[in-house]
Structure 1
Amino acid sequence: MSNIKEQWEQRFYDYTILWMNPAFNAPHRAILVSNLSGKFQLHSYDFITKFSRQLTKKSQGTLFGSISSNGEYVFYLNDIAGGEHGHFMRIPFAGGHAIDITPSLPQYYSYEVSVNNTGNLLCFSASIEDKNKIYLVSFDSKGSPLTPYLLYESAKSIQGSIMSPDGKFTCISLSSNGTKTISEILIFDNVTGNIIYKSNIKGSYTPHTFSKKSSELEILGLSNTSGSYRPILLYPKKKTIREIKDSSFKGDIFVMGWIEDEQKLLLCDVYQAKQKLLLYDLKNKTIKKIGPTSGTFDLFFNSIAILPDKSILIRWHSFETPPQILKLHYPLYKKITNVYLPVSTAKTNSKFESVYFHSLDGKKVQMWIAKPKNNKRSGSFVIDIHGGPHGVVGDEFSPKAQAWLDKGFGYCAVNYRGSIGFGKKFAEDIYGNPGKWEVEDIVAARNWLVRKELADSKKIILSGWSWGGYVVLLALGKYPNLWAGGIAGTPIADCIFQYEDEPAFFQALDRKRFGGTPTEVPDIYKSSSPITYAKKFQAPILILYGENDVRCPPRQIAYFEKILKKEGKKITVKKFSSGHAGEFANTKIRVSNIKAALDFAMNIIGKAPLKE
């Protein structure tokens, strides 16, 4: 086999930073997730001293980690073969061995911890069997972990668990099971284990962090109680809530960082799949636009670093530009320099265009389209369906999109019902009847492409991963005559089997989306399941799944394959040796899956497969 990589393949191997997470009280120290070793692993990096080292060497890569507030330690889930069940490990930032901080617990699903200022106490949520649990772990004077203390447990979904800087309190948010979201905010006394504050808030609520400056309890979080996501400041002792509002806000407002010394929030306004960086002054209630005017930022909290000179580091990329680390210079933040500028493989000359169409019910839906420079496969289009479902495709760099364009396919990414940045109703339209409006939006996108003579009606391929893979299968079953083929990565094929096998964390989410359990609302689970439409499938199907996937477990895939083969349908199933997220962490697996997808699509439209 030749070691020479094609251009599309090389883009996946180009050195990049997937995200960064700085220490809250020592933001010059950060975790960087990069593929320098060939797989995405955690790396420590000090922006002042330039010290760096690779922290993890897991066989399937590592995508998630937490850093202590003081920057001394990094925590990651040590799972087996990408299975996302394991124990948290603690490893020193500057060097040393990793230790298991919960050796007495069974394996659990989790992905982050919250640590107090001194590093001797932390909290985390964990899914174990049919419950979501909150644990406290303290450390003795020698730094050894003591037996975990169970603070709380519930069958409900736990949206965030954070610890106060002094370690006295833990705050969590519980989400209701019904399709109408109500969040219950709980604050615990970590010494007694008692609940000292309890309140309900309409909509979703995720606590981000306690204030490290305020003499009274003050918690920064995110909620969509007013219809769109907005920052929320909670004052438990006063029993008051302050929603951050401004007339210039257009879409969902996400908090990227809290610069407490300056009394400012770094925000990102996500509106109609486009992003805008904002600096909000909490004292004066003023706002200013900063940073690049296009492209995509990291939307999760604490995704920025504040340097000693008060300049801001952010990660940014666009359809035409691979990820970069940009420095926004204090005090005006108008001067922008590149701290990290990758040398990347040549990209396609195609342009990413935002367009709108109307779905079956008249709802306005946004999508991105790009036409290939190479027109040899005239009229061939792939409709790429994002996961989530509460994600969004923006003006972002995607080696996958570039690969499809390199091979002569038009590329389309639809922000279907369920996507963020289009309002609360748009995001929650899918509740109570999952799959219905996602599929209708994809069908309407397909019809728009055909009507505009961009796509040949007989050459349209569906592709998606996770929830996107689920929508692919459901669309193939409900509208069998519209597609040339479908590629479903780590999909949901049987919603009932899915619920039975998934962790408690995802069961709670499904009860919310479906309106109950399979026993309580069996008709909804049945009508939303791709397997229900087994007899109707006509187009060839390629399913790619991880043998250790706990989010979309293998049993339902195997059963779906069995039923469709019994019906004489054209289905190919390939498994890879990792879990749900491993397809993204392990570059070799990712490239293999993309190649399988490209081969599959090109064979359908009469072209030879890619050469090995």
Structure 2
Amino acid sequence: MSAPLHPVATVPDRLFADDAREQRWRARFTATRMSRPDWARDAPDRNVYTSNATGTIEVYAWDRATNTHRQVTDRRAGTHIATLPPDGETVWWFADTDGDEFGHWVTEPFAGRERGSAGSTNRALGADPVPALPGVEDGYPAGLDIGRRLVTAGTSTDDGTRIWLWDRTSDTPAHVVYAHPEDAGVGALSDDETLLAISHSEHGDSRHPAVRVIRTADGSAVAEKSDGPGRGLTPLAFAPVPGDQRLLLLHERRGREELLIWDVAADTETELAIDLPGELGADFTPDARALLVSHTHAARTRLFRYDIATGALTALPTAPGCVASADVRPDGTVEYSCSSAAEPPTVRALHTDGTDRVLITPPGDRPPGSVPVEDLWVDGPGGPVHALVARPDGGTAGPAVVSLHGGPHAADEDRFSAVRALWIDAGFTVVEINYRGSTGYGSTWRDAIEGRPGLTELEDVAAVVDACVAQGIVDPARLVVEGWSWGGYLALLAAGTQPARWAGASAGVPVADYLAAYADEMEQLRAFDRALFGGSPEQRPEVYRASSPLTYVDEVTAPVLVLAGENDPRCPIRQIDNYLEALAARKAAYEVSRFDAGHGSLVVDEAMRHAATEVAFARRSVDAEGHSFGHGS
């Protein structure tokens, strides 16, 4: 019997009849954007960042002393992971194959190619990138920390995790200082490079890791810290000054992510009493006398300075918006990126005299803005559920897209999104829900999906949708559920377990058949799933089946759109094909868009095709008269 021929989703030539809206949505995607530049610790004029300037997200080097920029990478599927060693002499970036996330670190000179006469290249100076870590196996990245002399890197394969150590000043290859079948990763290297902190899950729960500190000289254990079942510890950074062996950690002893400083040499710890709601992250300032604290609460992130000696907490007067990333320069300047749902991102510098201004502006026109989001709190079965609502002009109940974030341990925030703005321009109200499993609302909220993933989140989705209907925010007859990654998984699960709610379901790179997904996905995610489900599919088969969209495929009544990456290691293509074949067997209404990349795409044109395909599909779903959907054959 031949395999079914799946109907291919149509990519519309344009979405809007009027030129103004058509140009506006395209401008948001094609406008040049860039990440916050990251600098070399001992050479802060040397920076690296990523940008979509060529139409694909690639790595760039910026020399602030000469204000020159250089494109470092040029790869078909793009590049988005890069860093600099302390001296800034080279650029390191992670090389995978067509977005499959499996590969190795490479390096090339910061200054790039040395060109001679007639455009010739002096390859002796390293014209082409070379493997950065001799002797290290290919794998999925599991952390990297580059010291002045030593480099430590993690690799994850089907055999588990290995952490490697390499002396940059020697001719010997890297060697393994840690290996275990369970998930682990590089935490931080001490300033004197004698200690290495490792995050590990030898106890079998990668979602709540423990911390081990080892000696780099011989790999022997110096200290261990674990808070027990259901309470993770995450190493953030060693103090960046000579002779200081204080390690900054995240803990969750009181039901949320907070901070403590562990003096490894003295084996003493100090929990930091920071009286802010929500959850915290931090890093040391360059002098290690203070912390730059990021505070996330109710879908917004703000910055504070915490004085370690006095415990004084000072809010930093950053520009309005939600901070995405931040760091402190050697002169005390805080550089950060921020945006809001209404305002596109900027990269800014907050100086020690209190002045705040744009640090760097990408070339070209600034992307058009959008509308702000409204906060909505709804009583759900597990407690108050926070949602963000963005409405087109007019505010009357109309078609809506319930957009579910990925992760699941992530959150929708008041940040700019070209995709959200497009839905608004297309006349859809956008409802984003920070369901149980989301971060930023405490450990209990995040961990509430353990043992029953998927179905638990959808209870919160149902509560928010019901509230939106009751308040006249959405039209219950014209609701589309949409998401990518974990959000795509939830969209498919919603289509099968809540069929009466949805006029359509759109799922990007989803888990569709959980049993097959577990068999094919990267080992890091298998470890995550074992912790989430309470074991492997062999140990908990009924839990996996109950949480798998394939189990409910016969109940699906709304048309389904699936967008899938051929090289996806997180939500592999075989398990998606299993779901599509099940839809085809019952002659369901569905469409498929396959692309040659991994878990999403770094190519702007591809991202635009995905967005246009989803919006066109949703329009047909909420107004099916005169429209048709494909069926498998």
How high is the TM-score relative to the length of structure 1? Answer: 0.91
Residues 73 and 233 of structure 1, relative CA distance in 2, 3 Å threshold: farther
1:225 aligns with 2:227: no
1:422 matched residue in structure 2: 441
Closer, same or farther: CA 180–311 of 1 in aligned 2, 3 Å = closer
Q: CA deviation at 1:208?
A: 2.0
Find the partner of 1:251 among 263, 266, 278. Answer: 278
Instruction: Indicate the residue corresponding to 1:186 in structure 2.
Output: 212
Structure 2 equivalent of residue 499 of structure 1: 518
Cα distance between partner residues in 2 of 1:170 and 1:365: 39
On the 8 A contact 1:439/1:471 being kept in 2, the answer is yes
Q: Secondary structure at the match of 1:506?
A: helix
Distance 1:94 1:160 in 2: 28
Who is 2:123 aligned against? none
Shift of 1:501: 0.8
Q: 1:197 to 1:391 in 2, by over 3 A?
A: same
SS at match of 1:500: helix
Question: What is the aligned counterpart of 2:358 among 335, 338, 343?
Answer: 338
Q: How is 1:440-519 mapped onto 2 (pairs within 5 angstroms)?
A: 440-519=459-538
* 1:394 match: 413
2:233 equivalent in structure 1? 205
Please report how far the alpha carbon of residue 336 of structure 1 lies from its aligned counterpart in structure 2 after TM superposition: 1.2
8 Å contact 1:297–1:316 — kept in the other structure?
A: yes
Query: In the alignment, residue 369 of structure 2 is paired with which amino acid?
Result: K
Q: Which amino acid aligns with 1:606?
A: D
Counterpart of 2:53 (choices 30, 36, 51) is 36
**Counterpart pick for 1:586 among 568, 588, 603:** 603
Shift of 1:546: 0.6
Aligned equivalent of 2:324: 298
Of 580, 591, 599, 1:572 maps to: 591
Counterpart code for 1:329: H
> For each residue in 1:539-596, what CA deviation from the matched residue of structure 2 results, as whole angstroms up to 9, or x when unmatched?
111010110000111110001111121122222121111001x42x211111110011
Partner Cα separation in structure 2 for residue 465 and residue 63 of structure 1: 19
Distance across 2 between alignment mates of 1:394 and 1:216: 36
2:30 to 4, 9, 13: 13
Q: Which residue of 1 aligns with 2:131?
A: 100
For the residues of structure 2 that align with 1:305 and 1:57, how far apart are their CA atoms? 30
* Equivalent in 290, 294, 297 of residue 268 of structure 1: 294
Cα drift, residue 412 of structure 1: 1.2
Establish whether residue 606 from structure 1 lines up as the match of residue 623 from structure 2: yes
- Note if contact 2:29-2:608 (Cα within 8 Å) is conserved in structure 1: yes
Quick one: distance in 1 between partners of 2:46 and 2:237?
18
CA contact (8 A) 2:247 2:262 kept: yes
2:117 counterpart of 1:61: no
Match in the other structure for 1:81: 98
| Aligned equivalents of 1:181, 1:464: Cα separation in 2 | 23
2:375 to 350, 354, 364: 354
Residues 1:180 and 1:207: Cα distance change in structure 2 (over 3 Å): closer
1:138 and 2:155 equivalent? no
CA contact (8 A) 1:160 1:206 kept: no
Q: Which residue of 2 aligns with 1:277?
A: 303
Helix, strand or coil for the counterpart of 1:185?
strand
**CA spacing shift, 1:262–1:83, aligned 2, 3 Å:** closer
| Range 320-329 or range 159-168, more displaced | 159-168
After superposition, where does 1:482-561 map in structure 2 within 5 Å?
Answer: 482-561=501-580
1:408–1:374 CA distance, 2 compared to 1 (3 A) = farther
Aligned-partner residue type, residue 372 of structure 1? P
Could you list the per-position Cα deviations for residues 354-405 of structure 1 after superposition, in whole angstroms to 9, with x for gaps in the alignment? 111112x151011111111278x96100111111111112211100000000
State the Cα distance separating 1:177 from its structure 2 match: 5.9
Cα 1:537/1:430, change in 2 over 3 Å: same
The match for 1:171 is 197
Deviates more, 1:155-164 or 1:393-402: 155-164
Question: Tell me, which stretches of 5 or more residues in structure 2 are unaligned?
Answer: 1-12, 114-126, 628-633
Residues 178/102 of structure 1: CA separation in 2 closer, same or farther (3 Å cut): closer
- Determine if the alignment matches structure 1 residue 128 to structure 2 residue 157: yes
Question: 1:463 and 1:94 mapped to 2: Cα distance?
Answer: 44
Q: How many residues align?
A: 591
Q: Which residue of 133, 140, 144 maps to 1:113? A: 144
Distance 1:28 1:224, change over 3 A: farther
1:57-80 superposed Cα distances (whole Å, 9 cap, x missing partner): 111111222221333332222111
- Structure 1 residue 423: deviation in Å? 1.0
> What is the CA-CA distance between 1:150 and the residue it aligns to?
1.5
CA drift at 1:104: 4.8
- The 2-side partners of 1:366 and 1:565 are apart by 37
2:385 to 348, 354, 365: 365
Whichever residue aligns with residue 522 of structure 1, its letter is: P
Amino acid at match of 2:280: I
8 Å CA contact retained: 2:226, 2:233: no
Deviation of the 1:10 alpha carbon = 1.9
Aligned counterparts of 2:248 and 2:108: Cα–Cα separation in 1: 28
Q: Compare 445-454 and 191-200 and name the one that shifted more.
A: 191-200
Query: 1:140 Cα shift?
Result: 4.3
For the residue of structure 1 that corresponds to 2:554, the secondary structure is helix
Contact 2:192 2:243 survives alignment (8 Å): no
Alpha-carbon contact 1:124-1:161 (below 8 Å) kept? no
Alpha-carbon shift at residue 149 of structure 1 (Å): 1.0
Measured after TM superposition, the shift of residue 108 of structure 1 is 0.8
Conservation of the 8 A alpha-carbon contact between 2:404 and 2:433 = yes
1:292: Cα distance to partner? Answer: 3.0
Looking at structure 2, the residues matched to 466 and 24 of structure 1 have their Cα atoms a distance apart, in angstroms, of 35
Could you tell me how far apart the structure 1 residues matched to 2:490 and 2:562 are?
13
* Cα displacement (A) at 1:179: 6.6
Q: Give the gaps of 5 or more residues in structure 1.
A: none
* Worse-superposed segment, 96-105 or 536-545: 96-105
Report the AA paired with residue 212 of structure 1: P
Pairwise CA RMSD: 2.3
The residue that corresponds to 1:151 in the other structure is: 177
Instruction: Verify the 8 A CA contact 2:145 2:186 in the aligned structure 1.
Output: no
CA contact (8 A) 1:494 1:530 kept: yes
> Which secondary structure state, in structure 2, belongs to the residue aligned with residue 513 of structure 1?
helix
Q: Which residue, 311, 317, 327 being the options, matches 2:333?
A: 311
Query: How far apart are the structure 2 equivalents of 1:177 and 1:15?
Result: 45
- Structure 1 residue 293: deviation in Å? 6.4
**1:179–1:431 Cα contact (<8 Å) kept:** no
How far 1:135 sits from its partner (Å)? Answer: 1.3
> Are residue 385 (structure 1) and residue 404 (structure 2) matched?
yes
